Structure 1
């Protein structure tokens, strides 16, 4: 052994010596000193090698070994160096004008104006999407869940398919019919049984109707009667009791069966029996299905899959009718965009915590199911989400901007010294430089030194994230793309177009837009004269047409005619702008504009998006009155940074005390005006007064919808006194 070691030392010493001479020569000719270039590879990818003469070396065996080692190292670097992501199209021309009209555009991935309906010839329904994953994965994991402090447990694709079939047979044994006019309600949090119930409906061509807590009882009664609901699946007795109460009061006479996922009390069963409602456990329904087997009755693309009731910010919820063809075309478009640059594998896993009652989360899941990937559910408590992620280690993260903003604020608020802040900012710039070249990775030097803890808090395996539902700050998006070391896409859409109509391209690291149209959608902008938006300038109301656009609102021809015109164009109410690279930017909202007494139109959501850039601001609501000449606002300061921000300006106190301090309010108002002026807001768009509120707007307090949009009417009602008070001051 000793002789062997000495032999290696003799052989490698000349290699090391000549390699050091070569490196020193490289340093001197490159003009670098000391540790400035300790890493040879930092020179190679960033600049061409300078011309210089190598030290004079004899062609001895040791020299040859040295050059051989250098050649090997160079070859290794060539093989392992990071490569840019391949974009599926020219990033400077991501969409194409339709018929020569630049205001109407379609995806550059299409060869002509024929929109994409199906990616796989044999996958044309939501049922087919799951069946494809079943064929790929079989007995492999599909749906995961966990108990507190425990690892995830998994239900296989085969088990999901079998349980769904038993459940569907059980529903038919209870009198349900295998056709798209048979509505099955589900009132539950995200959990495996939610998806099993959905697959059960699709296995026998039934239509699913999701319900959720924040609808309120009045809205739920409206939905139950509109669809003449007979059967509702609930996750717990408390929710079933709400439905039973409506039955007892004679408000929902059609309800005849409640299926409970968890245990229920005997008292509840007896109460239900008195008003002729049958209550049974999910296991009992499946057992009934096993005893009465039926062959699947798969749906057709034109069949109704789900009636998705929009939460709405005003009025009664509207039931968007989504077909199987709508779902197939939308998922097919996402797969089409990602082909060649990102491929889902059986090992990929997503975390499910965004409400399944809305299309965004469900479209993500069906895209994953079609590839045989997995979905793990959070424990049901959003405060435990990060713990669930550390345990699940997801590769895919669906998210909304509000959550990303909180993550960003938390990271920035944790920096304890100027040194760490400067180091982080430098590392972000280095990673962003790579992103601008199309390189996406999490194994760089900066990832190991700076971003490792951030990535570990998400489980350490993220490859892909998607944000939607609202605009996201360019600063936040760029920072998280760099620090998480994964692709983060931004999309735009609404329930009525089955979740999405635009999607940012792989390899595009730019921000401030929501990408080009999906291959299943044509998107155009139309004039809004009152708001001074004109299609000839590439601005206007966003309209969508294609196979992902819904059939209309259930039993609501008036609202259907308003949203979906006879020529097939869906009018979204959002205002967009085409950018030179063919992507769409969301710039305004049509429906929420108000008119000041001097005749000026104001779009509050546009102002709110700008004011949200202010450091102390977490949430903001802008209000106007047609009898007044100015706008006012409600601001919820960011608890993570507000106290320190105020302290830097000489104000001391708790979060609540600072919100009550008029001088602090004026400081925040001054900051908002500065941010607004920098963004180009006109003087009449700037708020003249504001009220600082210490508690967040949330779903729980009824001020946010389940998709985290402001319930504008409810916010006005809750803060009516403060809004009226601000208008008593004359400016």
Structure 2
């Protein structure tokens, strides 16, 4: 590249490296020029100032962080088998079971927080339009002990065979109820709306639950109806956070169910009857997690130092985040994509330049949010998430490498990507501090061994470093509650958990998720289809917010249900000559054709086979959500429910023509 003399002077006077000079040169087209196409004096001054800022940024850059291991070898082969690996952080093949000697259970974790924080804030909440109020660790511990004593007074037994249901939205009382159970070695069974009536009855009977703690009368009424119908005979007590009617009390009394307010249970039954704590042992059952459409699984919950709850209105979530100023932010990729989309609409040459400079820092191991670029360019982006982030974790679905790299630069914090499932206590791999590369979910955590095993029908073989992901270690669950057959399907005789996901080991010892085994099906011509892999490709399309890929063994091609992104769809269509409201555009066959072409183009870029490309689609103007029963609480597609919901559209698409 040819550099003019004045830029060479800037380079020598500021100490800019070649890459910085090139990026400065790339800014020239955005600067005002004179009629002779030379830079105006104001532009020269501006570019000089920018060069000086860049030089200052280079001089003041802190030392890079030291990764906990060699980033080129983040995992180690176990017993010489490269398909089975453990964390390079470990000294040998002995897995980490606990980090602190005094912390072995969920009860211990809270007690450690209590010891360290004491009267410090633990749980925060607020009413709409009001500031946050905080309950201290000491207050939470006292309330948990009193509530637990109240549960014992109502007949609950202080042992892990006693199951207590909690059917409520996330709020401080939920955590206090959970801790009350742990304080007396009882096991918690979380319940939620999307389980459905049949699953709820199954859970209450399987766990023989007699006491359920609810947030409001409507939820308690749905449980009471099951008792009235004779389908949940063990249910005998409902404890509510909120007020309830006397009519509901009388109705419950008629079928021998006692209804109590949470405060009433604590004051009248727990107060003055405080029992000595009965802490659980590490081998004791702590919590039974039931996921939508499955039987229950056992895992443990973890806590942060201070937890704030949102107001209950999802539209006010970002306002709550700004107010709470979180230091740790667990987030699904969909939200990060939306942040990226909003910022990318206003990308300028200066923003691009600043991003490149921050990405250069990241590649050398420097992570900070106090550079001049942060103060001058990225401040508003960081403030939208409270301005106090130290690290974030994204999981549950793949995230675009471009989005991840961009947000690591603009948010000025560590952003980790992880992988796991409920059956292995959420996580089994985690990206390493100091590793700014993308396209993988990190190396095994110190508590887990991870291996890949052959899937011949999908042409994946462990000898090639690819196959079904299997996990073993202290974080893996014991099995499905009272269901040995289901347990045997998930856990083999050597205690390896078979995930149903397909992974590939990369040369640096990290794992890449490349496919899905559990939902594969065959088309009529015998080709295997992994729909989630295809959906993840199509999610890269600008107009696509959500997508469901469908096919079956009686059909020779795939079809799709697509929810366009309401924030970009109208403008995207307008750029292509289509005008109308969001709903009108969804009904326009020419718009549908344009979306399909865009999806297929992205599919070709991702090297999808022709039979993996959808041949027709239906544009749906309403998002899949937990509320409408099309997503699980962890925001995964409820595939059977989506299929049923759109059966009419699916049948219509298949009846049109064959491809």
Q: Normalising to structure 1: TM-score of the pair?
A: 0.83
Shift of 1:139: 0.9
DSSP 3-state at the match of 1:643: helix
Question: What are the Cα deviations for residues 427-457 of structure 1, in whole angstroms up to 9, with x where unaligned?
Answer: 2222222111111111222222222111111
Q: Please tell me whether residue 730 in structure 1 is matched to residue 658 in structure 2.
A: yes
Q: Which residue in 2 is equivalent to 1:395?
A: 327
Provide the C-alpha distance between the structure 2 equivalents of 1:403 and 1:558, rounded to a whole number of angstroms. Answer: 38
Q: How many Å apart are 1:234 and its aligned residue?
A: 0.5
The verdict on how the C-alpha distance between 1:650 and 1:24 changes in structure 2, with shifts beyond 3 A counting, is closer
Using the alignment, how far apart are the partners of 1:135 and 1:89 within structure 2? 32
Range with bigger deviation, 653-662 or 223-232: 653-662
Relative to structure 1, the CA distance from residue 24 to residue 298 in structure 2 (aligned partners, 3 Å threshold; closer, same or farther) is closer
Aligned to 1:374: 306
Secondary structure (helix, strand or coil) at the match of 2:292 reads: coil
1:639 corresponds in structure 2 to: 566
Residue 138 of structure 1 corresponds to 118
1:395 Cα deviation (Å)?
Answer: 1.2
Are 2:281 and 1:304 equivalent residues in the alignment?
A: no
Where structure 2 has 5 or more consecutive residues not aligned to the other structure, the ranges are 1-8, 22-43
Indicate how the Cα distance of structure 1 residues 407 and 43 shifts in structure 2: closer, same or farther if over 3 A, else same: closer
Aligned equivalents of 1:439, 1:451: Cα separation in 2: 16
Say if 1:721 and 1:282 are closer, same or farther in 2 by CA, change over 3 A.
same
Distance 1:277 1:91, change over 3 A: same
Identify which of 319, 323, 343 aligns with 2:296: 319
Answering whether residue 371 of structure 2 is matched by residue 444 of structure 1, we say yes
Give the whole-Å Cα distance in 2 for the aligned partners of 1:638 and 1:26: 48
Match of 1:42 in 2: 54
Contact 1:37 1:43 in 2 (8 A): no
Q: Structure 1 residues 284 and 473 mapped into 2: Cα distance closer, same or farther (>3 Å)?
A: same
Return the offset for 1:41.
6.3
Query: Partners of 1:29 and 1:552 in 2: how far apart?
Result: 61
* Paired residue secondary structure (2:574): helix
Superposed, 1:492-531 pairs within 5 Å as 492-531=419-458
Other structure's SS at 1:208 match: strand
Distance 2:314 2:638 in 1: 21
Is 1:27 aligned to residue 39 of structure 2?
Answer: no
Local SS of the residue matching 2:443: coil
Q: Which moved more, 1:281-290 or 1:552-561?
A: 281-290
TM-align CA RMSD: 1.8
Counterparts of 2:591 and 2:353 in 1: how far apart (Å)? 32
Aligned to 2:270: 289
Q: Please identify, of 204-213 and 479-488, the stretch whose mean Cα deviation from structure 2 is larger.
A: 479-488
What is the rounded CA distance, in whole Å, between the counterparts of 2:145 and 2:75 in structure 1?
Answer: 42
- The answer (yes or no) to whether the contact 2:57–2:372 under 8 Å persists in 1 is no
Show CA shifts across 1:307-342 (max 9, x none). 111223xxxx311123xxxx4xxxxxxxxxxxxxxx
Give distance in 2, aligned partners of 1:29 and 1:176.
72
Counterpart Cα distance in 1 of 2:451 and 2:584: 49
Q: Across the two proteins, how many residue pairs are aligned to each other? A: 623
SS at match of 1:633: strand
How far, CA to CA, are the matches of 1:663 and 1:253 in structure 2? Answer: 57
> Quick check: 2:14–2:52 contact (8 Å CA) kept in 1?
no
Whether 2:492 is the aligned partner of 1:565: answer: yes
Per-residue deviation, 1:42: 3.1
Choose from 318, 339, 345 the match for 1:386. 318
* Pair 1:82-2:62 in alignment: yes
Q: Which residue of 2 aligns with 1:347?
A: none
Name stretches of at least 5 consecutive residues in structure 1 with no aligned partner: 1-22, 47-76, 328-361
Give the Cα separation in 2 of the matches to 1:285 and 1:25: 73
Q: What's the offset of the Cα at 1:110?
A: 0.4
Q: How does 1:405-420 map onto structure 2 within 5 Å? A: 405-413=337-345, 415=346, 420=347
Residue 600 of structure 2 aligns to a residue in which SS? helix
Distance 1:138 1:24 in 2: 56
2:339 and 2:88 mapped to 1: Cα distance? Answer: 34
| More divergent stretch after superposition (607-616 vs 437-446) | 437-446
For residue 353 of structure 2, what is the aligned residue in structure 1?
426
Partner SS for 2:83? strand
Cα distance in 1 for residues equivalent to 2:95 and 2:317: 38
The C-alpha deviation readout for 1:103-146, integer Å capped at 9, x for no partner, is 10000010000000011111111111111111101111111111
Shift of 1:497: 0.4
Cα pair 1:504 1:516 within 8 Å, conserved: yes
Structure 1 residues 100 and 521 mapped into 2: Cα distance closer, same or farther (>3 Å)? same
Q: Counterparts in 2 of 1:174-185, with a 5 A limit? A: 174-185=154-165
Match of 1:92 in 2: 72
Inter-partner Cα distance in structure 2 for 1:190 and 1:478: 32
